[in-house]
A = this chain, B = another copy of it.
C-alpha cells in the first residue's frame, strides 16, 4: 500500500465531505469549471487532500490526491495537477489554524479585486469579513506580465502574506481564497463572501452604506460559527438529492 493510499484511508469522512464541497460550491455558483477546494489531512497536518485537475462538478473520491506543504502530490505519477495547488500548500504551511481552503472565481467578488472599493461586511451572516478584506496584487510580487496564476510556492507565500490572519483574500483580476477551520466553515465563507459582495455592490447604488462595526462583525461571526452545521446540512442534502 502506497503512502498516498494509507493517508487517504486514514482521512475518514473528510474525503466524502471534500467531494460534497466540490459539488456544493458548484451548485451555489462559487466554482464553475475552475477553482478548487482542499482539506488538511485530519491526522497528518503536514499533508492536505485535493482533487487532481478536474472540474469541481465532476470530482469523485477517485480523483482525490494527497499533497505535501510544498504543493507536490504524493504517489501520483501521470495525474494532472491543478496549476494553482500552491494556493493551498502555502496557506497550510503558514496558517496552522486553517483546515480547509477554497479558491474560486465567484463573480460578485471579482469587481472588488479590480477596483479600489474595499469589500467589508454589510450583514451579520457575513460578519466574518469584518471591516477590511485584503487584496493580493500579483504585479507587486511578480511584475506586469504574469498569467495571474499562483503557479509556484513562492507566489503562494506572497498571497499568504497578503491574507495575513484574515479569513479571505481577494486576488486581483483573478478571484479569491477563503480559509476555515473546517470544510464547512471554508465553504460557508466562500459562499457568503460572494453574497456580501453582491449585497454591498447593490447597496452602494442606493447611497452611503451603514457597514457593520468591527465589534458587530466579530460578534456576528462568533454566533454564526455555532450554526454553520445547519446550513451545511442543508447544502449537503441538496447536493446529494441532485446527484
Residue ranges of A at the interface with B (Cβ–Cβ < 8 Å): 32-34, 53-58, 83, 105, 107-108, 110-112, 114-117, 122-125, 127, 144-149, 172-175, 195, 198-199, 201-213, 215-216, 219-220, 222-223, 227, 230-231, 233-235, 237-238
Q: Known contacts A174-B124, A204-B206: does B199 contact A110 (CB below 8 Å)?
A: yes
CA distance A207 to B147 in the complex (A): 24
Of all chain B residues, the one with the shortest Cβ separation from A148 is: B124
A201 touches B206 (CB 8 A): yes
**Contact assessment for B117 and A105 in the assembled complex, using a CB-CB cutoff below 8 Å:** no
Chain B: minimal CB distance from A149 (Å): 6
A240: shortest Cβ distance to chain B, in Å? Answer: 11
Question: Across the interface, which residues of B come within 8 angstroms of A110, CB to CB?
Answer: 122-123, 199, 202-203
A230 touches which one: B54, B198, B238 (CB < 8 A)?
A: B54
A80 CB to closest chain B CB (Å) equals 8
Which B residues lie within 8 Å of A174 (CB)? 123-124
- Please state the number of chain copies in the assembly: 4
Q: Cα distance A146–B217 when bound, in Å?
A: 9
Known contacts: A114-B209, A144-B213, A222-B147. The answer to whether A55 contacts B231 by CB under 8 A is yes
In the complex formed, the residue of B with least CB distance to A112 is: B206
Q: Is the CB of B147 within 8 A of A210?
A: no
Chain B residues whose CB sits within 8 angstroms of the CB of A203 once the complex forms: 110-111, 114-115
Q: A147-B124, A210-B173 in contact; A58/B237 too (CB < 8 A)?
A: yes
Nearest chain B CB to A206 CB, angstrom units: 4
Cβ contact of A223, chosen from B57, B83, B175, B222, cutoff 8 A: B83
CB distance from A97 to the nearest CB of B (A): 22
How far is B222's CA from A145's CA once the two chains are assembled, in angstroms? Answer: 12
Which residues of chain B are near A53, meaning CB under 8 Å?
227, 230
Residues of chain B lying within 8 A (CB to CB) of residue A230: 33-34, 53-55
Nearest Cβ distance between residue A229 and chain B, in whole angstroms? 10
- The CA of A227 and the CA of B82, in the complex, are separated in Å by 9
Nearest-Cβ distance from residue A119 to partner chain B, whole angstroms: 10
Distance in Å: Cβ of A116 to nearest Cβ of chain B: 5
Most B CB within 10 A of own CB, among A107, A147, A203, A231: A147
Nearest residue, chain B, Cβ from A213: B144
Please name all residues of chain B whose beta carbon is closer than 8 Å to the beta carbon of A216 when the two chains form the complex.
144-148, 173
